[in-house]
Structure 1
Amino acid sequence: MNSKNKLKIINDPIYGFITIPNPLLFRLIEHPYFQRLRRISQMGMSYLVYPGAHHTRFHHALGAMFLMQRAVQVLRLKGVVISDAEEEALCIAILLHDIGHGPFSHAMEHSIVEKVSHEHISLLFMEELNREFNNRLTLAITLFKDEYPRKFFHQLISGQLDMDRLDYLRRDSFYTGVQEGTVNSQRLITMLNVHNDTLVVEEKGIYSVEKFIIARRFMYWQVYLHKTGIVAEQLLMNLLKRAKELTQSGQTLPASKALSFFLNNSIDKGNFEKETLMVFSQLDDYDIVSAMKSWSELDDFVLSNLSEMLLNRNLLKIKMKEEPFSKDQIAERRESFREKYQLTVEEANYFVFDGKIENLAYRMDKDAIYLLKKNGKLVDVASASDQLNLKALSKTVVKYYLCYPKPNY
C-alpha cells in the first residue's frame, strides 16, 4: 500500500487548505506528467518585470481544481443535479487543462514546434493518462472537448467566467503585487447558477462580474501585455528559433536530450505522436535556462547575445503606438544595427522587429456572460450594467510595437 496516499491536503497561499477529493485525483497529481508543471512558470518571463511572479502552472492547476469543487457545491445547493462521476470529471478536466504547456508557458508553441497549441498537447496528455488509468478519464476528456450534452460543464472549464480565469487572475495579481487585478473568485462562484443548460450569474452578482471584467482588462495591460514582458517573451522565442536554425544547419549546441530532440526535428501537429509526447514530458523551464547559460558563451553573435540579454535582463528597447510603424523606420534601425556589428539582414532581424498586441476584456459575440433576473429572463451583462460601459470593453484594442537594441548596446 502506498503511504503517500495519506497526504490529502495542500496549503495554498491564495485559498488556504485545498483538499484533494479522491484517490484518482491524488494519483493524477502525483504523476510525473503533472509534477512537471512545478517546473513550468505560470507567467513566462514576467518575473523580469514583477520579481514575485515565480509561481507555476502546478499552483494554478490546483487552485482551479479547488474553485471547481466550490462551483459544484454551490450549483448543487441551488438544485442543479451533478452526479459524483460528473463532479470527478469536472475536477480532472480543470486539473489537467494546462498540462500541455511547454517551457515558460507559451514561448515554445511559437518557436520550436510549428502551430501546436498547448491545448492540443494537453489533450494528448489526457488521452495517454486515460489509457494508463484504465479509461477513467473518458468523461473528463469528453467535457474538455465540449462533446458532453450538458454544455454548462464546458463553460466551467473553458468560458468567459471559467475556473481557469477565476484562479489565474487572482493568483497572478497576488504574486505580481498588482492589486488592480484582484477578483473575489469565491464571491463570483456563489452567484453562479444554471438556466436552460447555460451557466449564468444571478442578477445580484452584476457588480462582481463588472469587477472581474475590469480586473481582467487591467491585468492584460499592466501584466500580461506589459511592454518589458513582451520584449522578453519575443527574445525567448527568437532565441529558440535561432538555436533551431543553427542545429538544423549542422551545428551541435549544448542542450538537454529533450531540448535537443525539438531542435533537431521539425515538429508539427501532424507528427506530434506518442514518442514526441514522451520527450515533451521531459522538457521544462530548467532545460531552457541551462541551455541559455551555455549558449551565452558560444561564438554565434545572435545566440550568445540573445542568451545574455535574457539571463542578465539587458533587454531590447520597445516603443508602442496605436498605428503600425513604417517600413522605413524599421529598416533604418535594422540597417544601423547590422552595419555596427557586420551582420546579415537575417541576423539583424533577431534584434530589430515589430509586432502587435491585442486586448479584448469581454466578448459579446461568443459565450457571453448572462445575468439571470428575478423574473427568469437572461440579459447580457454588458447591456445590464449601469455603472460602467462594458460594451466599450468588448471591442478589441490593438497596439503596435517596435523592438530594437538600446543606443549603448
Structure 2
Amino acid sequence: MKKQNKLKIINDPIYGFITIPSELIFDLIEHPYFQRLRRISQMGLSHLVYPGAQHTRFQHALGCLYLMQKAIQTLKFKGIKITKDEEEATLIAILLHDIGHSPFSHALENSLIEGLSHENLSLEFMETLNQDFNGKLDLAIKIFKGNYDKEFLTQLVAGQLDIDRLDYLKRDSFYTGVAEGNINSDRLITMINVRDNQLMIEEKGIYSVEKFLLARRLMYWQVYLHKTSLGAELILIKILQRAKELIQKGNELQSNSSLSYFLNHNILYDNFSLEILERFAQLDDYDIMTAIKQWQNHSDRILSKLCQMLINRKLFKVKLKNKAFKAKKIENIKHNIQKQFNITSEEAKYFFFEGKTSNQAYNYDYQQIMILFKNEKIKEVSQVSDQLNLKTLAQPVVKYYICYPKGLQ
C-alpha cells in the first residue's frame, strides 16, 4: 500500500503557502474534531455587518500554525534553546487552542454548556486526542495549561502579544475590509526575544507594539463589538433560550439529534462527560441555522418571530451609551413592546435586552508587554512609549446597551 504524503502545503490568502511540519500535526488536522472547525465561523454573526467575514476557525488555526513556525524559528536563530519536541508541542498547542469553540464561536459560549469556556472545552478535546494518539500530546497540553518550565512557550500561545492575536487581527481585518486592524505581524515576530524565561519585544519593535494595541482597540469597537453584530448575537442566544423553554413545557421542536440533546438537557461543568464531548463535537453552525430555518414557521409566535428576524436580517435597534440607561426609559420601551406584540411582561424579555460591554486593549495585570533594550535593560511598554498614551489604552472602556425591535410606537 502506497504511503500517504503527510507533509502537505496549504495556500492561505493571508500568508501564502503554509507547510504542515510533521506527520503528527497532519493527523491532528485530519481528525474529525479539527475538521469540525471548517464549519465554525470565526466571527459569529459579523457577516451580517461585514459580508466578507465568512472565514472559519479552521483558517485561523492554520494561520496560527504558520505564525508560530516563524516565531519559533526566529527565537532559535537568536540562540534561544528550543528542542524539536518542544517546537512540535508548541505548534500543536496553538493549532488546537480554539478547537473547543461552540457554533458561531463566542456568540453561543455558555449557551449550550454552562460554566465551560471554549478554553476549557479545548483542553477537554486535547486530553481526549492525547488518548487517541497514545500520549503524544502530553507536552503540548503542559504548554497550553502553563505547566511547563519554559514560560515563554506558553506566552506565545496565550498572552498579551500572542500568536492567536497576531493572526486574528490581521485575518479579521482582511476579511472585513477594516484596514485599521491590519497589523505588521512579520515585524512583531522578527522583534521577539526571550530573557529570564519571559517573552519580550526588542527596542526596535516598540512602534509595531503600539500599532498592535491601537489596532486591537479599534477592531473591538468597529468590528467585534459592533452594535449590529451584538444585537444579532443576542437574538441568536434568545432563540435557543426560547427553544429550551418550549421543550421544557412539552412542545416538540424539529432539530437534529446533536442539537436536540443540548436543548433537552442542562449541561453543566459538574455533569460534563466524554459522551457529552462527543455530542458537542457533532455540533456546528449548520445545525443551528438549519433548526432556525425550520423554527421560523413554528406555531409559537415568539420563537418564529425571532427566527424570522435573524434569517431575514430584520434586526433590533441597538443603542450604546457611556452610562446606564434610565429605568423610566427602559420601562417605557418594555411597555411598548408588550402593547405592540400583545405579549406578557415575561414574554417581552425575548424582545428587549440590556447590559454592558467593555474593551481593554492592554491589561497591566496580565502578562505585561516588556521591551528589551540593546543594553539589556527591560521596561514595561507603557513606560517607554512616546507615540501613544498606552496607559489610556490600558483603561477598560465600558459601554451600556439596550436592544429592542425597530419601529416601536
Range of TM-score over shorter length: over 0.9
Q: Deviations over 1:188-209 (max 9, x none)?
A: 0000000000000000100110
What are the residue-to-residue correspondences of 1:123-134 with 2, within 5 Å?
Answer: 123-134=123-134
Alignment match, 2:177: 177
Alignment match, 1:57: 57
Alignment match, 1:353: 353
* Distance in 2 of aligned mates of 1:4 and 1:58: 22
Q: Deviations over 1:20-65 (max 9, x none)?
A: 0000000000000000000000000000000000000000000001
Unpaired runs of at least 5, structure 1: none
Alignment match, 1:212: 212
* Distance in 2 of aligned mates of 1:2 and 1:50: 45
Alignment match, 1:71: 71
Alignment match, 1:23: 23
* Distance in 1 of aligned mates of 2:3 and 2:346: 57
1:224 aligns with 2:224: yes
Q: Which amino acid aligns with 1:194?
A: V
Q: What displacement does 1:343 show?
A: 1.0
Alignment match, 2:327: 327
Q: What displacement does 1:302 show?
A: 1.5
Q: What displacement does 1:6 show?
A: 4.6
Contact kept in structure 1, 2:337 and 2:408, CA below 8 Å:
no
Alignment match, 1:296: 296
Contact kept in structure 2, 1:357 and 1:399, CA below 8 Å:
yes
Q: What displacement does 1:113 show?
A: 2.1
Q: Which amino acid aligns with 1:402?
A: I
What are the residue-to-residue correspondences of 1:125-144 with 2, within 5 Å?
Answer: 125-144=125-144
- Greater Cα shift, 242-251 or 267-276: 242-251
Q: Over the residues paired in the alignment, what is the CA RMSD in angstroms?
A: 1.2
Alignment match, 1:400: 400
Alignment match, 2:305: 305
Q: Which amino acid aligns with 1:18?
A: I
1:164 aligns with 2:164: yes
Structure 1 residues 2, 266: closer, same or farther in 2, change over 3 A? Answer: farther
* Distance in 1 of aligned mates of 2:346 and 2:114: 20
Q: What displacement does 1:108 show?
A: 2.4
Q: What displacement does 1:13 show?
A: 0.3
Alignment match, 1:264: 264
- Greater Cα shift, 114-123 or 58-67: 114-123
Q: Which amino acid aligns with 1:324?
A: A
Structure 1 residues 193, 2: closer, same or farther in 2, change over 3 A? Answer: farther
Structure 1 residues 4, 345: closer, same or farther in 2, change over 3 A? Answer: farther
What are the residue-to-residue correspondences of 1:342-381 with 2, within 5 Å?
Answer: 342-381=342-381
* Distance in 1 of aligned mates of 2:393 and 2:309: 35
Q: The residue matched to 1:110 in structure 2 has which SS?
A: coil
Contact kept in structure 2, 1:130 and 1:138, CA below 8 Å:
yes
What are the residue-to-residue correspondences of 1:28-107 with 2, within 5 Å?
Answer: 28-107=28-107
Q: Deviations over 1:260-283 (max 9, x none)?
A: 000000101111210000000000
* Distance in 2 of aligned mates of 1:100 and 1:286: 16
* Distance in 2 of aligned mates of 1:382 and 1:271: 44
* Distance in 2 of aligned mates of 1:136 and 1:398: 43
Alignment match, 1:112: 112
Q: What displacement does 1:5 show?
A: 3.3
Alignment match, 1:241: 241
TM-score (norm 2): 0.98
Q: Deviations over 1:288-309 (max 9, x none)?
A: 1100100000011111111111
Contact kept in structure 2, 1:248 and 1:263, CA below 8 Å:
no
What are the residue-to-residue correspondences of 1:188-203 with 2, within 5 Å?
Answer: 188-203=188-203
Q: What displacement does 1:107 show?
A: 2.5
Q: Which amino acid aligns with 2:60?
A: H
Structure 1 residues 148, 27: closer, same or farther in 2, change over 3 A? Answer: same
Q: The residue matched to 1:379 in structure 2 has which SS?
A: strand
Q: What displacement does 1:3 show?
A: 5.5
Q: The residue matched to 2:335 in structure 1 has which SS?
A: helix
* Distance in 1 of aligned mates of 2:364 and 2:7: 43
Q: Alignment identity in percent?
A: 59
- Greater Cα shift, 106-115 or 145-154: 106-115
Q: Which amino acid aligns with 2:395?
A: K
* Distance in 2 of aligned mates of 1:126 and 1:299: 42
Q: The residue matched to 1:290 in structure 2 has which SS?
A: helix
Q: The residue matched to 2:350 in structure 1 has which SS?
A: coil
Q: Which amino acid aligns with 2:31?
A: H
Contact kept in structure 2, 1:112 and 1:241, CA below 8 Å:
no
Q: The residue matched to 1:107 in structure 2 has which SS?
A: helix
Q: What displacement does 1:242 show?
A: 1.0
Q: What displacement does 1:338 show?
A: 0.8
Contact kept in structure 1, 2:203 and 2:371, CA below 8 Å:
yes
- Greater Cα shift, 264-273 or 243-252: 243-252
Q: The residue matched to 2:236 in structure 1 has which SS?
A: helix
Aligned length: 409
- Greater Cα shift, 8-17 or 241-250: 241-250
TM-score (norm 1): 0.98
